[in-house]
Chain A
């Protein structure tokens, strides 16, 4: 297929599919409704790291996980989740919560929307190990 047809077809197709998913409500972010749900999402990534304590964010978008192997974070990414240990993380406060920079090219950072008290508490905990 000539490029002058292929390029608009591909660009238009991507745009149209994106709009369709938004109109169908498929852009809603994942939320962890309970601590148990957050722990389950953590265990998907780190099945060997037993969880000692969980702090679920008020907006349910992430949870700070204290495990036998160290402090970690599980967070919503799109409709799904991922998790990382926080050793080496750089934390900074923002107007809406915290920004975490992670030493991982495949998970370079997280924007966390947190309540002010929550943000201070999480920053202190993460700062201890960062």
Chain B
């Protein structure tokens, strides 16, 4: 059994590249007058969220790592660390990412962690770094369990997850229109991911892919970018704060307030935590499905 496998922490090594790329995008927008928008406080908030995500990983990473090592010690399988196995791990971990991301939009408990990534009304490279501080509390690390049990070493799985995150950085831009057709067909691209960040009814809950857009095509969640309908970025109800603490925790607070409402049944309290975002016991709010239906009826 490969116990002492180690890989570089690719995300921290990518930090200088992230900073340089943001500068490049800023100068491109400034010089050409197109390719997106930046706003100072929005950008700083996004960057602080990114730094907080790294800090949360350092502080709470032991939880997922401990869980993975328990599984690793349980499984009799060990696929080793050859290049083909790393490539296979990367592809399967991207499938894992697709489902975690989909859960992140369809289960409010997971959305509470992921919502902050969508809380900017801008779409630029700094938005890519607007990451969660509370992922550990979603318990979505369990979705990686099959990979570990199949014999992929936990260090390799986390390494592939880091590469996945780095890939997703460059697609958070309006400076790139479309990539070549073959690339758009297989890979997640700025165009596909702009759709994912759109709050337009037709773009809600679409394009969950991390690296390979084929998962969305396979599982029926792919929506192409319509040149006639520019994505309107942000949340269905946009937040009114740049305070990173509020950005990080606002949906958790929302869940807490909702489940404590007087007069609810136990089932209703539970549904406020696990039903799709926008669900309410009295129908006073709208889920993304209801928003889409209303928009379709309106034509």
Contact = CB atoms under 8 A, between A and B. Distances in A.
Contacts of B241: 77, 106-108
B15 A1 contact: yes
A81 B18 CA distance: 27
Interface in B156-180: none
Chief secondary structure at chain A's binding surface: mixed
Interface size band for A:
20 to 34
Contacts, number: 108
B238 interface: yes
B137 to A, nearest CB: 17
Contact of A26 (B39, B232, B239): B39
Contacts of B12: 1, 6
Interface stretch (B22-30, B80-88, B145-153, B211-219): B22-30
A17 B127 CA distance: 13
Given A6-B12, A9-B16, A106 B246 contact: yes
B48 interface: yes
Chief secondary structure at chain B's binding surface: helix
Contacts of A17: 19, 22-23, 26, 43-44, 47, 126
A77 to B, nearest CB: 6
Contacts of A82: 237-240
Contact of B42 (A10, A79, A106): A79
A24 B18 CA distance: 19
B13 interface: yes
Interface in A57-97: 75, 77-82, 84
A18 B37 contact: no
Nearest to B30: A24
B15 A105 contact: no
A27 interface: yes
B37 A105 contact: no
Given A13-B19, A17-B22, A106-B239, A80 B40 contact: no
Nearest to B237: A45
Interface of B: 9, 12-13, 15-16, 18-19, 22-23, 26, 30, 37-44, 47-48, 51, 54, 121-122, 126, 232, 234, 237-242, 246, 249-251, 253-254, 257
